[in-house]
Structure 1
Amino acid sequence: MGKTRNEHNVIITGATGMVGEGVLMQCLSSAEIDHILVINRKPCGYVHPKLKEIIHADFFDFSAIEHQLSGYNACFFCLGISSVGVDGETYYKMTYTLTMHVAQTLSRLNSDMTFCYVSGGGTNENGRLRWAQVKGKTESDLTKLPFEQVFNFRPGFIKPFAGQKYAHQFYKYINWLFPIGRTIYPSGFCTMAELGQAMINTLSHHDQRRILEGKDIIALAKE
């Protein structure tokens, strides 16, 4: 797909999860985003004039769809699994190996791409927790790829949009905590709109490689 100089054409992964769906909703409502491609294992359930969807089962092999992945200048990577109840080998494969395969493919096809990776609060490659180490290694190695920019997002509590299809059910019962948490610990609480808008706003930057904690996400969303 061709793009003019001022177009913002975005690939989103994980659109059938809470974070990916929220980022997709923000992009669909944004006049700054011209075209959106979502790559999913199953349909996301959204239809929009600027939205294209590819259903693809194997995220470790994009060879069959590579010809459809050029001409994009951003990837908002929101795909991931929880470490709870998952053995270390599987978590590493689904977090580090999968992410790096997708990123390596996209960096080869789109030299001017901004890559935004949703990591998590508490990520630390040298930390004691295995999940934090894996996420940290993923962040670190993403910054070494030949992207125009790489932003590693570390949100804490994320308040979903009202009416999200894929929001975790427990958010219905704990959303009342958000204004309290935002007051006491603002760096640990952001809204889905802030997260999505912060990703969109990375496209106005140039040649940056940054880690964005909660307070940084909120600030970037206000730009």
Structure 2
Amino acid sequence: MKVVVFGGSGLIGDGFLQESLRAPDVTEVVTIGRTPLDLAHPKLRQVQHTDFLDFTAITDELRGADACFWGLGVSSARLSPQDYERITHDFTVAAARTLAKVNPALTFVYVSGGGTDSSEKGRSRWARVKGRTENTVIATFPNGYALRPGFVRPSHNQRSKTPAYRWADTLVTPLAPLLRLMRLTPLLMTSTAQLGQVALHLARHGYSRHVLENRDIVTVAAQAENHG
């Protein structure tokens, strides 16, 4: 299986990347990014690309892919509405449409977030933008999926580059056993490793729904682990 990963330098993208490199049935992982990753692996091929609104120049690099895992994303804080929409929606849709032309049966997994608005009519702008992105991905690919995780904890010895997120993870760590005891973990929390495992499971087996909330993510991650 050939996997394309966007956002490999970020926390969630790293989860996709690491789990794909570890998977025995993944023969090639292609990362698309503006700068090279500090990582070498026999399965890994890095493609540098700067124009995320036009992927025509790297179409051949995308050809033959079985799955695309989209981990590229930004917070709406400190961004203009136009920049947030361009990065969140326009970048994703440009890549999806290019991939659909050469790999219409491809599995496209887009990481959204809890509270995303599929109706595109709610009060929250970020939720509407992500909802519109989800809807476009799912309409573009028969095997298109949106993951809506809650709080995502880092795996593979990684740390978030965002100070606020690192602070939040430090705060959540001592509470994790209590959340498990209260059976709240499936509702509120997942990990970058689980997101990677779920994305691979979707590429291999699909799922009954195209939008997966945090509880679904935890459930499918357990299924993926049971499948070995």
- 1:64-106 per-position Cα deviation (integer Å, ceiling 9, x unaligned): 2112110001000011111011111111111111110110001
Within the candidate set 145, 157, 160, 2:151 is matched to 157
CA distance in 1, matches of 2:127, 2:198: 23
Of the candidates 100, 104, 107, which is equivalent to residue 100 of structure 2? 107
Equivalent residue, structure 1, for 2:121: 126
**Which of the pair is proportionally richer in helix?**
2
Quick one: structure 1 residues 95 and 172, their matched pair in 2 at CA, closer, same or farther if it must change by over 3 Å? closer
SS at the partner of 1:57?
Answer: coil
Aligned equivalents of 1:127, 1:183: Cα separation in 2: 34
Give me the whole-angstrom Cα distance separating, in 2, the residues matched to 1:177 and 1:83: 27
Q: CA shift at 1:167, angstroms? A: 5.1
1:113 deviates by 0.1
Q: Within 2, Cα distance between the matches of 1:44 and 1:165?
A: 15
Matched letter for residue 180 of structure 1: L
Tell me the TM-score normalised to structure 2 length: 0.88
Contact 1:16 1:166 in 2 (8 A): no
Structure-1 residue corresponding to 2:188 = 188
Give the alignment of 1:141-156 within 5 angstroms.
141-145=136-140, 147-156=141-150
Moved more, 117-126 or 199-208: 199-208
Match of 1:202?
Answer: 202
TM-score with structure 1 length normalisation? 0.90
- What fraction of aligned residue pairs are identical, expressed as a percent? 36
Q: How big is the shift at 1:206?
A: 4.7
Partners of 1:67 and 1:212 lie apart in 2 by 31
Task: Give the whole-Å Cα distance in 2 for the aligned partners of 1:84 and 1:126.
Answer: 20
Question: Cα distance 1:48–1:92, how it changes in 2: closer, same or farther (>3 A)?
Answer: same
Judge conservation of contact 2:154–2:160 (CA < 8 Å) in 1: no
For 1:179 and 1:207, how far apart are their aligned partners in 2? Answer: 29
Measured after TM superposition, the shift of residue 218 of structure 1 is 0.9
CA distance in 2, matches of 1:108, 1:162: 34
| Residue range with higher mean Cα deviation, 113-122 or 53-62 | 53-62
Q: CA RMSD in A?
A: 1.8
Structure 2 stretches lacking a partner, 5+ long: 224-228
Show the counterpart of 2:68. Answer: 75
